[in-house]
């Protein structure tokens, strides 16, 4: 089986018309993950952290996310459901919940999940999570969202205060760029930045 982006988009669009689209898309992702090597071959063996847009509409976003070694993304929400399928490496997710009656929108840890190559996770619309690649290699994953990932109003949380702030796509992309700068510095210094 080889990865076919057009077929994936088409299958996801059909799933959106189902009563429980997220469940159907989870099955689609699990089928993709049954051949992670095909995904790697089709999407590349990137050594640059980033978010690659594969498909974006108001109802559906499919992205290829590449996490640098040891990279962490602060707690954030999506305000839409998401299905994440890791095809290389591992993602560690910490789940957070809002502290009741906190005027600053503070959060507290509420659980965690580790998603290894060949595994997927289905995240609810109201879920808050932070993501870390705990490995020394790049982690690669397909992320599918039930809306336009790049246009949704949502929140992120400051890592020290755990207080809520407006989410910024630009800030998130800057984190990926910063990780790439660190990787470049490590190459120049032979791993001793």
Residues 153-190 pLDDT 10s: 999 999 999 999 999 889 999 999 999 998 888 776 66
The alpha carbons of the chain give a radius of gyration, in whole angstroms, of: 17
Is the model's pLDDT at 9 over the cut of 60?
yes
Residue 42 falls within a domain, yes or no? yes
Is the model's pLDDT at 147 over the cut of 60?
yes
Find, among 159, 104, 107, the residue nearest to 131 by Cα. 159
Look at residue 35 in the predicted model and tell me its pLDDT.
Answer: 86
For the domain that residue 34 is a member of, what is the CATH number? 2.60.120.10
Is the model's pLDDT at 13 over the cut of 80?
yes
Residue 193 falls within a domain, yes or no? no
What domain count does the chain have? 1
Residue 169 falls within a domain, yes or no? yes
What's the whole-number mean pLDDT along residues 93-101? 95
Residue 145 falls within a domain, yes or no? yes
Residue 192 falls within a domain, yes or no? no
Bridge partners (DSSP) listed for residue 131: 73, 93
Which residues have a Cβ under 8 Å from the Cβ of 114 and sit 6 or more positions away? 90, 91, 92, 93, 134
As a whole number, the mean pLDDT across the chain is: 93
**Domain encompassing residue 128:** 5-186
Local confidence band at 40 (pLDDT 50, 70, 90 cut-offs): confident
Share of the chain above pLDDT 70, in %: 96
Three-state DSSP at 76 gives: strand
Residue 67 falls within a domain, yes or no? yes
What's the whole-number mean pLDDT along residues 117-145? 96
């Amino acid at each position: 089986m080889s990865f076919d982006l057009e077929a994936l988009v088409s299958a996801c669009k059909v799933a959106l018309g189902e009563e429980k689209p997220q469940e159907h898309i989870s099955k689609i992702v699990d089928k993709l993950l049954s051949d992670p090597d095909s995904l790697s071959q089709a999407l590349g063996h990137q050594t640059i952290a980033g978010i690659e847009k594969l498909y974006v509409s108001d109802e559906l976003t499919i992205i290829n996310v590449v996490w640098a070694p040891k990279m962490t993304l602060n707690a954030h929400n999506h305000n839409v459901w998401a299905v994440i399928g890791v095809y290389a490496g591992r993602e560690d997710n910490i789940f957070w919940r809002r502290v009741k009656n906190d005027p600053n929108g503070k959060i507290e840890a509420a659980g965690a999940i580790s998603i290894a190559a060949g595994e997927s996770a289905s995240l609810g619309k109201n879920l808050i999570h932070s993501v870390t690649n705990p490995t020394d290699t790049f982690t690669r994953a397909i992320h599918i969202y039930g809306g336009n990932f790049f246009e949704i109003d949502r929140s992120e949380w400051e890592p020290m205060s755990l207080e809520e702030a407006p989410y910024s796509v630009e800030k998130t992309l800057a984190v990926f760029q910063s990780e790439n700068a660190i990787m470049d510095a490590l190459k120049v210094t032979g791993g001793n930045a």
